[in-house]
Structure 1
C-alpha cells in the first residue's frame, strides 16, 4: 500500500510539473503547430526573387504563446523588451517578455481593446473599440488619458487600429466591428454617418482625414512618412490597401490610389512597413462562400467556402509598388503584426489564438 501511495504521489507530482511547464509555454504546441527541424523553413515562401534577401536561411517560425480567442494589435516596447497585444473577446491585454519567454495576462477589463501602438515618449496608446469606444493613452503612473471619444459631438464608432507620426500626431481608423455584435464587445447603434480615418493633432484637435472608405481597418505610414496606407475591409468589392499622399505639414491627405487588391477570397487586416518600404500584411481567407449550395451528403446542401484557410493564412509581403514578393504561411489567420527585438528584425504575428515570431533580414520602420 505505501508503495502504491508513493507511486500515485509521484504521478500526481509529474502531472503537475507537466501542466506547469505547459502553462509557462502557454501551450506552445497546440493548434497543430510543430516547429520546423529543417532549414530553411518551408513555410516561408519567396514569391519574387527580391524577397530572398529578407529570408534568413536558419530562422524558423516559433509559437510563443496561445490560448487567446482573437489576437490583435501587437506593439513592441524596446525599453523593456516586451510585446503587448490584445485578446479582444476575452477583454484583456497580453504580454510577452523576450528575456524570459513568459507569456501572461498584462491587464484585464480593457474595453475590448483592439489596435495598440506606442507614442514617441514610450507610452501605450490603445483603441478601446467597444463600450467606451475611444482612443486612450496609458501614462507612466498607470493613469488613463482619453485622446478621442467623439467627433463633432457624436460618439466614435469602434476605434480599430492606430499609429503615431513623428510629429506626435495620432492617426486611427474607426470602422463598425466593435459594435456590430456581442463577440468583440457590445452591440450598439453607430452615431457617425461614415466610417473614417481620424488625425489627432499634437494640440488635441481631431479631424477626419478620410471619409470615403467602408470600414477602414489597418493603417501604416511609409518609411519616409510621405504616404499613409489604409486597409479597406469592404466595399471595393475586395479588401484593398489604399495609398494617400501626406501633405508637407502632415495634416491632410490627397491622391487616393489603390495599391493592393486582395482579389477574391484573400483578407487583409493589419500591416507594418519595413525600412525598405515593403508592406508586411496580415493575410488569410475572407470566409467568402460560393453562390450556390453543394451536396455534402446526408441529404444536405451547404454553401462551401471559396478558399482554403490552410493555404491562405499567414503574412503576405508586398513591395512599395504593391507587388507580392513573399509569404509566411501560418496554421492560423494573422490579424496583425509588429517588428520587435533589439534590432527590430523579429517579426511578431498575432494570429487568431496564438502569437508567432520569425527573425527576418528586414527591420521595422521607426
Structure 2
C-alpha cells in the first residue's frame, strides 16, 4: 500500500489493502469544503478561487452546482438536510432552502462585519457553529482584500438566530468538528497568512460561554485545515502530505498519503465509509474500514 503509512497497529485495521486512493476529478484551483448528500448520491465542494461550488456524483461526474458562489469555502448540512455555507466574498454564513432560496444566518457581530467565515458545523440542538479567520479578506485569491473589523473567532448561532462568541484564543481558527457525543469541539488553528505562526489543533470542552481549550496535536508537515471524526472519535485531519488519523488521545496512528496538499475531508458513500478528500487541484476518495460520525 504505497498510499498509506502506519504509525500504530490500530491503524492497520482502518485501511483496506485492495481499496485504492482514487482521483475522481482534477483541474481546479483550490478545492475545499466537501459535504456529502446521501439522498442525492452526490458530493458538493468548493473551488474557491474560481468562485464556484461543484457537484460530483458517481453517475455523472463533475457539474457546476452554483456559480458565482461568493467565493464559498466550507459547507455542511443542517438537521433538515439543507446546505449551510461559508462565503468569503459576502463575509457571511448562509442556508440554501429546499426551494433554492438563500437565507443569511450571520454576516456580522456587534455592529461589525464578519471577516471571512471558513468552516461550519451543526450541533444536535440545531445551533450552527462557524470559524471566522481572515483568509478571504487578506488577499484577492480567495475573495477580496478588505479591512479586518473583528478578531478571528469561532461563533455559535442558536436556532432562534442569536449569535455568541465561543472561541477567542486562536490566531486563525479554521476547521471545526465535534466529538461523537458533542462534549468536545476540535478547532484547527492554521495561523495568520504570510507568517510563521504555530499551526496546531486544539480541543475544547463544550458548554456555556467562551470555551477554555488545550493543545491537542501539532502537525509538522504543512498545516491542519479541515477535519472530521469517525464514529469512534478518531480525528481525520488534513495535512501537507495527506490525511492524518489521530486517536482520541492525540496519538498519530497513520497517514493516507496524497500527492497534493490536502485542505479538507468528509465521510460519505453508502455507509459513510468513504473518505472524500479535497486537495489543491483535485478531488480524491478512499474506502475505509471506518464510518464517519453519522450526522451531519
Q: TM over 0.5, yes or no?
A: yes
Which residue of structure 1 lines up, in the alignment, with residue 149 of structure 2? 191
Does the 8 Å contact 2:219/2:239 carry over to 1? no
Which residue of structure 2 lines up, in the alignment, with residue 321 of structure 1? 249
Deviations 1:120-148 (A, max 9, x none): 11000000012x10000000111000000
Which residue of structure 2 lines up, in the alignment, with residue 240 of structure 1? 200
Which residue of structure 2 lines up, in the alignment, with residue 129 of structure 1? 88
Which residue of structure 1 lines up, in the alignment, with residue 176 of structure 2? 219
Q: CA separation in 2, counterparts of 1:252 and 1:52?
A: 40
Q: What TM-score does the superposition give when structure 2 sets the normalisation length?
A: 0.96
Find the residue that maps to 1:45 and give its secondary structure. strand
Find the residue that maps to 1:357 and give its secondary structure. strand
Higher helix share: 1
Q: CA separation in 1, counterparts of 2:259 and 2:209?
A: 39
Find the residue that maps to 2:226 and give its secondary structure. strand
Higher strand share: 2
Deviation at 1:238, TM superposition (A): 2.2
Deviation at 1:261, TM superposition (A): 1.2
Q: CA separation in 2, counterparts of 1:84 and 1:111?
A: 15
Q: CA separation in 1, counterparts of 2:56 and 2:270?
A: 14
* 1:47 to 2:7 alignment: yes
Deviation at 1:197, TM superposition (A): 0.2
Q: What TM-score does the superposition give when structure 1 sets the normalisation length?
A: 0.78
Find the residue that maps to 2:13 and give its secondary structure. helix
Does the 8 Å contact 2:166/2:211 carry over to 1? no
* 1:163 to 2:91 alignment: no
Which residue of structure 2 lines up, in the alignment, with residue 257 of structure 1? 214
Q: CA separation in 1, counterparts of 2:30 and 2:126?
A: 29
Which residue of structure 1 lines up, in the alignment, with residue 282 of structure 2? 354
Which residue of structure 2 lines up, in the alignment, with residue 281 of structure 1? 237
Deviation at 1:242, TM superposition (A): 0.6
Q: CA separation in 2, counterparts of 1:207 and 1:246?
A: 14
Q: Which runs of 5+ in 1 are unaligned?
A: 1-40, 285-312
- 1:38-77 to 2 correspondences below 5 Å: 41-77=1-37
Root-mean-square deviation (CA), in Å? 1.3
Q: 2:265 aligns with which of 337, 340, 353?
A: 337
Deviation at 1:233, TM superposition (A): 1.2
Which residue of structure 1 lines up, in the alignment, with residue 188 of structure 2? 231
Does the 8 Å contact 1:222/1:228 carry over to 2? yes
Does the 8 Å contact 1:114/1:127 carry over to 2? yes
Which residue of structure 2 lines up, in the alignment, with residue 139 of structure 1? 97
Does the 8 Å contact 1:196/1:215 carry over to 2? yes
Does the 8 Å contact 1:246/1:252 carry over to 2? no
Find the residue that maps to 2:11 and give its secondary structure. helix
Does the 8 Å contact 2:267/2:276 carry over to 1? yes
Deviation at 1:106, TM superposition (A): 1.3
Q: CA separation in 2, counterparts of 1:190 and 1:268?
A: 23
In structure 2, do the counterparts of structure 1 residues 90 and 237 end up closer, same or farther at CA, with 3 Å as the change threshold? closer
Find the residue that maps to 2:262 and give its secondary structure. coil
Find the residue that maps to 1:54 and give its secondary structure. coil
Deviation at 1:253, TM superposition (A): 5.2
Does the 8 Å contact 2:8/2:252 carry over to 1? yes
* 1:210 to 2:170 alignment: no
Q: Which runs of 4+ in 1 moved over 4 A?
A: none
Which residue of structure 2 lines up, in the alignment, with residue 108 of structure 1? 67
Q: 1:94 aligns with which of 54, 65, 71?
A: 54
In structure 2, do the counterparts of structure 1 residues 252 and 223 end up closer, same or farther at CA, with 3 Å as the change threshold? farther
Q: CA separation in 2, counterparts of 1:111 and 1:266?
A: 27
Q: CA separation in 2, counterparts of 1:253 and 1:323?
A: 27
